[in-house]
Chains A and B, each alone.
Chain A
Amino acid sequence: MTAAWALVRANWLTARTYRLSSVFAFLAVLVPVVPIYLAANAMQPLMAGVIRSEAEQYFAYVLVGTIAYSFVSVSVGSLSASVGGSIGTGTLEALLGTRTGVPTILAGMAGYGLLWTTARALVLLGAGWMLGMTVSWERLPAALLVLGLIVAVHVPFGVMAAAMMLAFRTAGPLPRGVIVASTLLGGVYYPAHVAPSWIERVAVLVPLGYGARALRRVLLEGQPLAAVLPDLAVLALGAAVLLAASGYAFAAALRYARRRGTLGQY
Chain B
Amino acid sequence: MVAPAPPDAGLAATYAAPASAAGRVAVRVEHLTKRFPARRDWPALLRHPARAEHVTVMDDVSCAVRAGEFFGLLGPNGAGKTTLFRMLTASVTPDAGVATVHGLDVARQAREVRQLVGSVMSNERSLYWRLSARENLRLYAALQRIGGRAADQRIAELLHLVGLESAGDRMVGQYSSGMRQRLLIARALLPRPAVLLLDEPTRSLDPISARDLRAFLRHELAARQECTILLATHDRVEAMELCDRVAVLDRGRLLAIGTARELERHYGDDRYALWTTRPDHPGLAELLARGGTGERRPPVPDADGWTCVHLTIPGGRAAAARALDRLTCAGVPVAGFERVELPLAELLERVVGGGGAA
Please determine whether chains A and B interact with each other in the same assembly: yes
A interface, CB within 8 angstroms of B: 2-3, 5-7, 9-10, 13-14, 17-18, 88-91, 93-101, 105, 255, 258-261, 263-264, 266
Distance in Å: Cβ of B170 to nearest Cβ of chain A? 12
Set B89, B125, B143, B145: member contacting A90, Cβ < 8 A = B125
Distance in Å: Cβ of A12 to nearest Cβ of chain B? 10
Also in contact, A6 and B139, with CB within 8 A (given A13-B130, A93-B122, A99-B111): yes
Set A6, A17, A88: member contacting B143, Cβ < 8 A = A6
Confirm or deny: B138 has a beta carbon within 8 angstroms of a beta carbon on chain A: yes
B36–A261 CB distance below 8 A: yes
Which residues does chain B contribute within 8 Å of A264, judged by CB atoms?
Answer: 82, 86, 91-92, 121-122
Chain A CB within 10 Å, residue with most, of B86, B90, B142: B142
Nearest CB to that of A15 among chain B residues? B130
Which residues does chain A contribute within 8 Å of B128, judged by CB atoms?
Answer: 10, 14, 91
Nearest CB to that of A17 among chain B residues? B130
B126–A91 CB distance below 8 A: yes
Also in contact, A260 and B37, with CB within 8 A (given A2-B142, A98-B140, A99-B145): yes
B125–A263 CB distance below 8 A: no
A263–B122 CB distance below 8 A: no
B interface, CB within 8 angstroms of A: 34, 36-37, 57, 82-83, 86, 89-93, 111, 114-115, 117, 119, 121-123, 125-128, 130-131, 135, 138-140, 142-145, 147, 171, 187, 191
Q: Jot down 27 A-B pairs with beta carbons below 8 A, ordered by A.
A: A2-B142, A3-B143, A6-B138, A6-B142, A9-B139, A13-B131, A14-B130, A89-B123, A90-B123, A91-B122, A91-B127, A91-B128, A93-B126, A94-B187, A98-B140, A99-B114, A99-B191, A100-B144, A101-B111, A258-B93, A259-B93, A260-B36, A261-B83, A261-B92, A263-B86, A264-B91, A266-B125
Assembly CA distance A17 to B128 (angstroms) = 12
Assembly CA distance A9 to B139 (angstroms) = 8
Which residues does chain A contribute within 8 Å of B121, judged by CB atoms?
Answer: 93, 264
A10–B122 CB distance below 8 A: no
Nearest CB to that of B85 among chain A residues? A264
Assembly CA distance A90 to B91 (angstroms) = 12
Distance in Å: Cβ of A162 to nearest Cβ of chain B? 17
Distance in Å: Cβ of B113 to nearest Cβ of chain A? 10
Nearest CB to that of B141 among chain A residues? A6
Set B115, B139, B171: member contacting A7, Cβ < 8 A = B139
Set A14, A255, A261: member contacting B86, Cβ < 8 A = A261
Distance in Å: Cβ of B101 to nearest Cβ of chain A? 13
B83–A266 CB distance below 8 A: no
Which residues does chain A contribute within 8 Å of B147, judged by CB atoms?
Answer: 2
15 more contacts with CB within 8 A, not counting A91-B126, A96-B91, A97-B89, are A3-B143, A3-B145, A6-B143, A89-B125, A90-B122, A90-B123, A97-B114, A99-B143, A100-B143, A258-B90, A258-B93, A260-B36, A263-B92, A264-B92, A264-B122
Which residues does chain B contribute within 8 Å of A97, judged by CB atoms?
Answer: 89, 91, 114, 117, 119
Which residues does chain A contribute within 8 Å of B115, judged by CB atoms?
Answer: 99
Assembly CA distance A255 to B93 (angstroms) = 8
Assembly CA distance A266 to B124 (angstroms) = 12
A10–B125 CB distance below 8 A: no
B123–A266 CB distance below 8 A: yes
Which residues does chain B contribute within 8 Å of A93, judged by CB atoms?
Answer: 91, 121-122, 126
Nearest CB to that of A10 among chain B residues? B139
Which residues does chain A contribute within 8 Å of B143, judged by CB atoms?
Answer: 3, 6-7, 95, 98-100, 105
Which residues does chain B contribute within 8 Å of A260, judged by CB atoms?
Answer: 36-37
Which residues does chain B contribute within 8 Å of A101, judged by CB atoms?
Answer: 111
B126–A10 CB distance below 8 A: no
Assembly CA distance A100 to B119 (angstroms) = 16
Which residues does chain A contribute within 8 Å of B111, judged by CB atoms?
Answer: 99, 101
Assembly CA distance A100 to B140 (angstroms) = 10
Assembly CA distance A145 to B104 (angstroms) = 43
Assembly CA distance A248 to B139 (angstroms) = 27
Which residues does chain B contribute within 8 Å of A261, judged by CB atoms?
Answer: 34, 36, 57, 83, 86, 91-92
Nearest CB to that of A263 among chain B residues? B91
Which residues does chain B contribute within 8 Å of A91, judged by CB atoms?
Answer: 122, 125-128
Assembly CA distance A64 to B180 (angstroms) = 46
Which residues does chain B contribute within 8 Å of A90, judged by CB atoms?
Answer: 122-123, 125-126
Which residues does chain B contribute within 8 Å of A9, judged by CB atoms?
Answer: 139
Which residues does chain A contribute within 8 Å of B144, judged by CB atoms?
Answer: 98-100
Which residues does chain A contribute within 8 Å of B135, judged by CB atoms?
Answer: 10, 13
Also in contact, A3 and B37, with CB within 8 A (given A14-B128, A264-B92): no
Assembly CA distance A258 to B115 (angstroms) = 18
Which residues does chain B contribute within 8 Å of A89, judged by CB atoms?
Answer: 123, 125-126
Which residues does chain B contribute within 8 Å of A7, judged by CB atoms?
Answer: 139, 143
Which residues does chain A contribute within 8 Å of B145, judged by CB atoms?
Answer: 3, 99-100
Assembly CA distance A263 to B110 (angstroms) = 15
Which residues does chain B contribute within 8 Å of A2, judged by CB atoms?
Answer: 142, 147
Assembly CA distance A3 to B147 (angstroms) = 10
Assembly CA distance A225 to B125 (angstroms) = 47
